[in-house]
Structure 1
């Protein structure tokens, strides 16, 4: 059932409507979003999209609040320890914007059938295992449901987007040479095709020299993929920083991934792997705020249908303080002469 935007909502979301337009706000007003996994990162995402005035958010989480959560999650309090994370966070989230429906689902994501995820407009997984991310992404692709996966591991964060095929519009102002003539807005309709998460994990760049590859791809992308390979090989758990065995396993997986990608063995240095492992289980609030802010912004951009959303990866390096936007195309239309990935870095 679609809901029309009321006069009160027009006044409340006035700044957004002037930015995106009334039609875009209407789409957001009727959007249903799933946030799976309630962590510090998803606290940020929930806050931003609830304040933007989406239709409904379903929070899927089966674990309970622990004392460690209090250091990074602002939607839970001391008295919530022992309660379900989704239930505790939902109470604070509803107060942010009573017009948004916040639904709690306390079941384990591993018990959800593929059909569960296709009832939403956008599915966003945070802190899930790589096997779950791949499974849900494949399920969403079957019905062209928008899919996002994101996580924060210490000083580093990532975000992946798969919209299968997305159509959007770009607005530009025509140049005016005639004196006194007002510039007209030109609307151009565009589209983007996306590859699945599983497909991007098999990408081959074929760059023999690390310096040439660094102009295209951040080593952090490979490092995260190595971390996911470790989780797949060890039942979903993260490597332990004080385990030499785990560190050696990470080095071995790195070498295997670089060989598959046909990349020089020195592209991902030991120091990056060591730093990633040493803080892999930590949730650092400022990093969650940056990644969560960008993730929420991109979800809203997808719903609005205005301007191009992310294609495919966003990476954040909290040590160097920069962002990397990487798109990977592995379908047949790709031109191998230009490489297989392009990166834009913003300091």
Structure 2
């Protein structure tokens, strides 16, 4: 395990003051896997590389196309035809030469299970629900931290599964008769996480829509409807021009709300239609917000300070709202 040098201590001085030397040391030796190189993952890569993690592996077997140029800043016009991961790594390395950036051009579908256990954190973007569920299962068996995220037009989401996570939390004890000055107290905490599949099968017990809205956003069920559509259709996204796909999304929505014991009116047609109309698009500001939140939470997990995301972050760009929800298999 490598120790932080004097030069690194000077470079990351602000972070060390915020998190402490021990936390920076953990980040310095962390290995992170980023799957899928698009606008969202560009934002994540930028933030965690600048923070000084040990190594980051970029995994993507696709080549750069014209569509990639809209939201990605690690890729240029001249990269069209090159492998996405290889093209992005070239500029990612310039952000912080101290961070090792590794390129993997394999198809994630061909990766053996033990590949994922080589990392401290696995971050999936652009994966099919089948891959997401399987990799979550693999990571849980080895207590590897997993983040799953994507941006679909105006909407974005993050799911976090750390299986069992231990962290420290600071609090201020006020001054008293025995203690003349306030004192910082550090407490050890732990949190257990639910699997992705368990949260997809969560039931809510027929609450009134108004009461349910205080617990969760309708966007959660819209995203889950999208996942279920992809499971039915071999991983493909619904086509914005296909009435058949839209009707299938409405049907799956109704089935999911019924199984979740949620009033059918909780998720209206308009949200589903808007999601489908821009499902393949990446909007730069949405990528920046979701990617910034995701990178910050990855660093928080690595630092071991304060509680990370538990366990969904849902962003609605039309409303400008980002909400955190704790979704459990048996919701209480």
Whether 1:289 and 2:288 are equivalent positions in the alignment is yes
Alignment-derived partner of residue 163 in structure 1 = 162
What is the TM-score normalised by the length of structure 2? 0.98
- 5+ unaligned residues in a row in structure 1: which ranges? 332-339, 342-347
Query: 1:206 aligns to what?
Result: 205
Q: Distance in 1 between matches of 2:320 and 2:31?
A: 33
User: Which position in structure 2 is the counterpart of 1:133?
Assistant: 132
Alpha-carbon contact 2:206-2:261 (below 8 Å) kept: yes
Partner secondary structure for residue 160 of structure 1: strand
How do 1:15-26 and structure 2 match up within 5 A? 15-26=14-25
Q: How many residues align?
A: 332
Deviations for 1:186-210, whole angstroms, at most 9, x for unmatched residues?
0110000001001100000012421
Q: Residues 107-149 of structure 1: CA distance to partner in whole angstroms, max 9, x if unpaired? A: 0000001111011000000111111111111000000000000
Q: Whole-Å Cα distance in 1 between the matches of residues 183 and 174 of structure 2?
A: 8
1:103 aligned counterpart, secondary structure: strand
> Counterpart in 2 of 1:115?
114
After the TM superposition, list the runs of 4 or more consecutive aligned residues in structure 1 that deviate by more than 6 angstroms: none
After superposing the two structures, state which structure 1 stretch, 130-139 or 171-180, moved more: 171-180
Contact 2:174 2:181 (8 Å CA) reproduced = no
Aligned to 2:50: 51
Unmatched runs of 5 consecutive residues or more in structure 2? none
Separation in 1 of the partners of 2:20 and 2:76?
37
1:325 and 1:67 map into 2 onto residues whose CA distance is 34
- Counterparts in 2 of 1:87 and 1:183: CA distance versus 1, 3 Å: same
String of CA shifts for 1:36-83, please: whole Å, max 9, x gaps. 000100000000000000000000000011111111100000110000
CA contact (8 A) 2:198 2:328 kept: no
State the Cα RMSD in Å: 1.2
Distance in 1 (alpha carbons) for counterparts of 2:329 and 2:152: 27
1:314 offset after TM fit, Å?
Answer: 0.3
Q: What is the deviation of 1:178?
A: 5.2
Report how far residue 180 of structure 1 moved: 9.3
Kept in 1: contact 2:153–2:281 (CA 8 A): yes
Q: What secondary structure is seen at the aligned counterpart in 2 of 1:27?
A: helix
Cα distance in 2 between the residues matched to 1:269 and 1:85: 37
Paired position in structure 2 for 1:335: none
Shift of 1:265: 0.8
Matches within 5 A, 1:30-45: 30-45=29-44
Deviations 1:268-317 (A, max 9, x none): 00000000000000000000000000000000000000000001100000
Paired with 1:264 and 1:185, the residues of 2 have a C-alpha distance of 46
